[in-house]
Each structure stands twice: as structure tokens, then as C-alpha cells.
Structure 1
Amino acid sequence: MTNKVNLINTDEYIDRMLKNDAELSKGVKEEGLRMEYAFSIMKLRESLGLTQEQFAEKINKPQSTVARIENGNANPTVKTLYEIGNAVGKTLKISFE
């Protein structure tokens, strides 16, 4: 006898979990923001052709701070993001969607 397993679409499952758990939904949104910061900072650094060490020196932050931001383990303030952009001649743009 074969056991039947009900398979559901992963996206549907995740959507259902997020709709039913406000705390989980909030955590996912916060993690998404950290990853956006991480990707944006990494993309900026790479567009300048700099290593983390070189970038850190240019923005006057420790390399460990750059690494934490890039791997999503930091939640940089708007002030920090502004300082990073200013140090490399870029403008920080914030928008509400």
C-alpha cells in the first residue's frame, strides 16, 4: 500500500504562514530590508572596483562593519548609509512604496 502525501506549492505555504503570523511576517520584512542594504552596499563597492578593505578605508569604517552589512548581519542606520554614500560621491535615495 502506498502512502499518499499531500503536496502543496511552497509559495502558497509561505504566503499562508505570513498571513497567519504577524510576527513572522514582520521578521521576514525586516530580513528583506537587511538583504536589500547588503546587496546595495556590495553592488556599490563592486561598482567602484574595491575590496572590502579598500572600501572600508574609503568610507572610514572598519572592514568588519562592511562585512556585517554585506552579509546581512547588520542593520545600518540611515545616517550610516548616508555617510557611506557621501564618502564615495553618491546620494542616498529613500522612497516609500
Structure 2
Amino acid sequence: MSKQLKQNIGLRVKAARTQQGLTQAQLAEAIDKAFETISNIERGKTAPNFSTLYDIANVLGLPMREFFDVDEEDLTDARQRLLMQVNSMIAQMDDRQLNLLLKLGKVLQEDV
């Protein structure tokens, strides 16, 4: 696995974990792994195997694809957090709210 992919996965795990208000130790306990495992994943030192990533995704309430959907290679930590927050918010919206958000997004794009 490439270093960049490990770092992107790590950033996304960290962003999702902090958004949920969990510490590394709490996430590690929830998936029955050592604290160091989460730390190493978030720092991009090691890549989680699919089983571990599946467990992390379940605890954080995310589909596994959230850890791989990367449009840009060098997303900052802050941008990762923002994207995770937006994705989490969107997942909770009904169709009417999604339509309103889409209209708002189009207006914001025109403003640029």
C-alpha cells in the first residue's frame, strides 16, 4: 500500500474519530485493539487490514468507502475533518433537505 494512501486513510480515521468525540483509546477499546494500533493508523505509519478497517467503520457509523474516496492526493487534516462532517450531516438528511442543500450548493458555486 502506498505511503500516501496510508496517510489518507489515517487522516480520515482521525477526522471521523474526533468528529464522534472519541479518543484513540476509546476507539481502540471498541474494536478490541491496542491504543498504539489506532495511533499508528492515524499517523499513516501502518495500514489497517480490512477486518480492522471494517470494525473502525462500524464503530464510527461510516461505510468503508469513506476511507478510500479521495479526489485529491494531498488533503489537509482540516479539509478531511470538514469533508467527514459534511458527509455525516448529509447521511442524516431526508430527501427534502438534500434537495435544499443541493440548491444552496449551486448558489454557493455561482458565487465563486
Q: TM-score, normalised by structure 2?
A: 0.53
1:44 to 2, 16, 21: 16
1:88 aligns with 2:28: no
Map of 1:62 onto structure 2: 34
Q: What fraction of aligned residue pairs are identical, expressed as a percent?
A: 32
More helix per residue: 1 or 2? 2
In structure 2, the partner of 1:77 is 49
Specify every segment of 5 or more residues in structure 1 that has no aligned partner in the other structure, as ranges.
Answer: 1-28
TM-score norm. by structure 1 comes to: 0.61
* Structure 2 residue runs without a partner (length 5+): 72-112
* Aligned-partner SS, 1:35: helix
> Residues 29-80 of structure 1, C-alpha deviation per residue, up to 9 Å, x if partnerless?
8111010111011011101111111121122211010011011111112222
The structure 1 segments of at least 4 consecutive aligned residues displaced by more than 6 Å after TM superposition are none
What is the root-mean-square deviation of aligned Cα atoms in Å?
2.2
Greater Cα radius of gyration, structure 1 or 2 = 1
